[in-house]
Structure 1
Amino acid sequence: MRWTLKPKPQTKKVETLQKALDVDANIASLLVQRGIETFEEAKAFFRPSLDDLHDPFLMKDMDRAVARIEKAVANEENILVYGDYDVDGTTSVALVASYLKTKTENIATYIPDRYDEGYGISYLSIDYALDNEFTLIIALDCGIKAIEKVAHAKSLGIDFIICDHHRPGEHLPKAEAVLDPKRDDCYYPYKELCGCGVGFKLVQALALREGKTIDDLTEYLDLVATAIGADIVPIDGENRVLAYFGLQVINHKPRPGIAALISEINKKELSITDVVFIIAPRINAAGRMKHGDYAVSLLTETNYSLAQKYAVEIETFNTDRRDADKQITEQALKQIEEQNEQNRLTTVVYHKDWHKGVIGIVASRLTETYYRPTLVFTKSGDFLAASARSVRDFDIYNALEACSENIEQFGGHKYAAGLTLKEENYEAFKRAFEEVVTKTIDRNLLTPEIKIDCKIDLDDITPKFYRILKQFAPYGPSNMTPVFMTENLVDTGYGKCVGTDETHLRLTVTQPNSNVRFVGIGFSMGDKFDIISEGKSFKAAYSLDENEWQGNVSLQLKLRDIKA
């Protein structure tokens, strides 16, 4: 692991903020690192307000989108709410469809089949819309590159409203409205909304036209917070406000579908991390293993008993997903070893029978193992389809763009993307991708990095310090969980390897001339026991969290790494 200590912020800025807030210097330093330098900025950070959300009509084409929907409702047109099969797409569809159903009965939802139709707008869905007399399709979390398909629908008398957050291509679809804050000509103040976030802004705009306020829309924020967590978008600005209040809804008044998913979890307050690792994988499992419609049914169901039934089905899909993920990851690792490709700068693997629904998860697993840009391919109809994952600070979307002559289509973000190509182009693409990455990547990025916010002593970790630190949440990109480094640590003699196979490390640490002791837990760090044994001095990189055991809550160090 590469430890990088973040630069210390300007002393004057830290001192000014420390005085204004009456907080510890380390707290003030953490805030300045996050761009918070004044009392007012700190107030907005610690006390998010729904009033801080931007006017949705600042988004390009929002007035056109609202006018077209109002016309459709007034004329009793059939409206099809369409979205991707992942968490962001299905939550978007659930949100917009639920809201529109309060205005008109003529609403239906459509999630494309991951296997028969693939990602984005499909010709099959347009045929479905034509056959069932839909004259307006609202596409969520997809569509920004569907130029030919939108034109085809238009020729059949079907209008599109696109609500997307992916990077547009050179040209935009000729839809009735294209809502995407990443449009070059869109001056919406916040650019990092997820697809469900864009859908929420559309709903907010429709509600404003009816004289409603943001307070009338809080019931939808559990969906938005779930999408923000699952899509790994920055949790700053508007996303922080939406995630903060969405978590409150999840914890205190969730919709029946989400309540059913979390009913078996023995936890008082769910964090955004819990959303990412507990709620999101289950919603995703529907589209991965069966069909995204199951997720939409769960998230739109108003009857709790029925929602529980859907949740049980989705739990089965999630179990199947875990089994497939484990099996394919093992096969992929074996393929890398057999082909002697451990020394490449990229990982590109393929098997025609791998389950398309889990190759994204497998790509993430392989990235954790070899820590390099990774693509996992499988057969999909007449093409090969892949999920791509990157390492921190390397833009895999740009790398794919540089190999586009071998690709049929691709889309995504800096760290995650998807693509299809012809089977005969696979080897050429694999070579080109390796060449592009070799030429463009900083070799340091191929070693996992721990970014350390600041160096502290154990004596600095007081109840007040942690009480304020908890208010930094919700965490995510642009506001990651603070990581600290403490030097001159010694184990007090209680250090040991724990777990059924003793792969984890548990220790109790202190520093010379300190009466303070903390328990530390390092998952998958059992092999580092020698570093802390026999009273040796060491340093640790860690975050802080609470451990609850038999009703007692104590503060512990969640170890990220230790070094002699």
Structure 2
Amino acid sequence: MPKKKWTVLPPPDKEALEQLSLELNTVKNPYFLQLLLSRGIKNFNEAKAFMLPEMQSIHDPFLMKDMDKAVARLGQALENGEKILIYGDYDVDGTTSVALVYGYLLEVLGADCDYYIPDRYTEGYGVSQAGVEFAKDNGYSLIISLDCGIKAHERVAWCNQQGIDFIVCDHHLPDDELPEAIAVLDPKRKDCQYPFKELTGCGVGFKLLQAFIEANFLEPEPLWDKIDLLACSIAADMVPITGENRIFTYFGLEKLGKNALPGIAYLLQTAGKTAPIQVTDIVFSISPVINAAGRMDHAHGAVKLLLAADMLEASQLAEAVLKQNQSRKEVEKEIVQQALEIFHKDSFLPTAFSTVLFHPSWHKGVVGIVASKIQEHYYRPTIILTESNGQLVGSARSVKGFDIHAALESCADLLIQFGGHTHAAGLHLHPENLAAFISRFDELVKKGLSENPPPAELLIDLEIPLSALNLAFHDKLLIRLSPFGPGNMIPLFLSKQLFQTAPPTILKEAHLKLFVQDRPENPTMEVIAFNLRADFYEGLMDAYLNQKPISLVYHVEVNEFRGNRKLQLRALDMA
């Protein structure tokens, strides 16, 4: 039995398929054309824009509400030699934002500036009182917040009283009322007409610098030279890789492969990653290390690494964050195991519609990762909480079809603060409100999912015979759909009536390797199935011994070893 529900996209209209084939002329592969159509690409111009992004296609930054005010105030500060404080969050989006904006202002414009990252444990998320007092005590007259600030009403008001101006660069959902800052740059503002709403915090900072460059007739190359930072923020924050984000990621990955900034280049080198760099390389080899600095100690270490001038400095700075990442892995593994044990011992959770777990000793820095893993395990809205400074603090992760940010809004009277997106959020509450919160949140989930929690679903692009897959299909066609990520996921294929040509092999206790073919005369294909041994080993062995066919849902990838390249299937589910 498959672990998840399989949903195959309906085949495209035959006329649309024929028309696209005519327009592209040299591309006749029906499976590739079907992949294009499923992504809304119907003609030559759309295909060209999708597969060959151009820098000049990004939007006019002055379409963003308050951009003119932000550029004017930044220009005034630079002209008058004012001290500027760049304030950023402690995650990847925040630290890359700071490295981008601070680095550009200092290196290119010679600004009198510094940066401030709040301590996750003593200050928490967002603009802190300690942060704005630091600005006052050190004579800063302008603060630019990045990846935070959209809900910093009290802190911005305090700054106004102290004569400190504030520019907010954020991408989170705002309240009905905005902070009374000089400028509030956020494409999600209700009154903002900016065409693309899914920028990261680093993306908003990039647009501010783009606007300043255009307004002052400066060369854009020094900004584009930092686009690998922006690509890292997009991959790490899991925003849709569509529209402008696709352009930024496309060129950011290109730069990562050719001439990455030293700090990122060192992390890629340490992980053994070489060009072409993929979004998954950022997600699994760069983001966890950068995040670990803020999770396990202080994010200043990550910013310093991102600002490293050369590989020698990068190697020295990376040593600490790499150790922090190893510590993070160990702590995360222990907490996930504890969370699963608490779930199974609880009398309420097995029949609940949501999962809310709390332990006072859990490490605050990894509750978001743990929430994601527990959500994946049970596939329902999940909140993981720990205790910090007398409050319960934690992270929330949702499932398809449930707006977890809206649910937290409905619990606002029980919370100290919260913020985030539709699928992920953070929250603080008083310990005495926990029981009432768990009850109300579960009712909201029950109602929001119509009392029928959706099964974990695999959205399959198309059913395809194994004989249609080869290295040319991957290298000349499939790769042209990249970069992959939310909004343009790596294609997922289904193949049926496959027979194993050898018994399944267990790898490192939890994984499987298979060899399959659809016809005796066709080549055998290697299949890797991570973390699926417990679910499928016995069934696969029975299918092999009795020559029963199996079905696979998988991604296509290339396995390269000692210069030899071969196609490999990465199975996500099977039956």
Same fold flag (TM > 0.5): yes
1:288 equivalent in structure 2: 295
Superimposed CA distance per residue, residues 23-66 of structure 1 (whole angstroms, 9 cap, x where no aligned partner)? 31211111111111110010011111111111111111111101
Q: Does 1:524 align with 2:531?
A: yes
2:201 equivalent in structure 1: 195
CA contact (8 A) 1:50 1:214 kept: no
Q: Distance in 2 between matches of 1:474 and 1:465?
A: 16
1:207 equivalent in structure 2: 213
Residue 206 of structure 1, CA deviation: 1.4
Q: Distance in 2 between matches of 1:57 and 1:170?
A: 23
Q: Distance in 2 between matches of 1:447 and 1:292?
A: 37
CA separation of 1:315/1:290 partners in 2, compared to 1, >3 Å: closer, same or farther? same
1:430 equivalent in structure 2: 438
Q: Secondary structure at the match of 1:519?
A: strand
Pick the aligned partner of 2:491 from 482, 495, 498.
482
Pick the aligned partner of 1:123 from 124, 129, 137.
129
Superimposed CA distance per residue, residues 58-105 of structure 1 (whole angstroms, 9 cap, x where no aligned partner)? 111111101000000111110000011000001001100011102134
One-letter amino acid matched to 1:390: S
Q: Secondary structure at the match of 1:559?
A: strand
Q: Distance in 2 between matches of 1:80 and 1:274?
A: 32
Report the TM-score when normalising by structure 1: 0.97
524-533 or 553-562: which moved more?
524-533
Residue 551 of structure 1, CA deviation: 2.2
Residue 126 of structure 1, CA deviation: 0.9
2:554 equivalent in structure 1: 542
1:365-376 equivalences under 5 Å are: 365-376=373-384
Q: Secondary structure at the match of 1:48?
A: coil
Q: Does 1:138 align with 2:149?
A: no
RMSD: 1.4
Q: Does 1:8 align with 2:11?
A: yes
Q: Distance in 2 between matches of 1:406 and 1:23?
A: 58
1:363-512 equivalences under 5 Å are: 363-442=371-450, 445-466=453-474, 467-492=476-501, 494-501=502-509, 503-512=510-519
Q: Distance in 2 between matches of 1:274 and 1:85?
A: 21
Identity, in percent, stands at: 46
CA contact (8 A) 2:104 2:223 kept: no
One-letter amino acid matched to 2:355: T
102-111 or 64-73: which moved more?
102-111
Q: Secondary structure at the match of 1:348?
A: strand
Residue 458 of structure 1, CA deviation: 1.2
2:544 equivalent in structure 1: 533
CA separation of 1:105/1:212 partners in 2, compared to 1, >3 Å: closer, same or farther? closer
Pick the aligned partner of 1:20 from 20, 23, 26.
23
1:62 equivalent in structure 2: 67
Q: Secondary structure at the match of 1:134?
A: coil
Residue 526 of structure 1, CA deviation: 2.3
Q: After TM superposition, where is structure 1 displaced by more than 6 Å over at least 4 residues in a row?
A: none
Q: Distance in 2 between matches of 1:185 and 1:213?
A: 31
One-letter amino acid matched to 1:533: Y
Residue 352 of structure 1, CA deviation: 1.4
Pick the aligned partner of 1:354 from 357, 362, 366.
362
Q: Distance in 2 between matches of 1:235 and 1:445?
A: 27
One-letter amino acid matched to 2:351: N
Q: Secondary structure at the match of 2:141?
A: strand
Q: Distance in 1 between matches of 2:489 and 2:508?
A: 31
CA separation of 1:215/1:10 partners in 2, compared to 1, >3 Å: closer, same or farther? farther
CA contact (8 A) 1:15 1:28 kept: no
One-letter amino acid matched to 2:150: I
1:319 equivalent in structure 2: 326
One-letter amino acid matched to 2:544: S
Q: Secondary structure at the match of 2:143?
A: strand
Q: Distance in 1 between matches of 2:74 and 2:273?
A: 41
Q: Does 1:343 align with 2:346?
A: no
1:28-43 equivalences under 5 Å are: 28-43=33-48
Q: Distance in 2 between matches of 1:496 and 1:32?
A: 36
Q: Secondary structure at the match of 1:167?
A: coil
Q: Does 1:328 align with 2:335?
A: yes
CA separation of 1:267/1:304 partners in 2, compared to 1, >3 Å: closer, same or farther? closer
Residue 393 of structure 1, CA deviation: 3.3
CA contact (8 A) 1:84 1:112 kept: yes
Residue 462 of structure 1, CA deviation: 3.9
CA contact (8 A) 2:78 2:111 kept: no
One-letter amino acid matched to 1:16: Q
Q: Distance in 1 between matches of 2:527 and 2:360?
A: 44
Q: Does 1:220 align with 2:220?
A: no
CA contact (8 A) 1:393 1:445 kept: no
In the comparison of the two structures, how many residue pairs are matched? 561
Unaligned runs of 5+ in 2: none
1:556 equivalent in structure 2: 568
CA contact (8 A) 2:401 2:449 kept: no
Q: Distance in 2 between matches of 1:305 and 1:511?
A: 52
Q: Distance in 1 between matches of 2:158 and 2:115?
A: 20
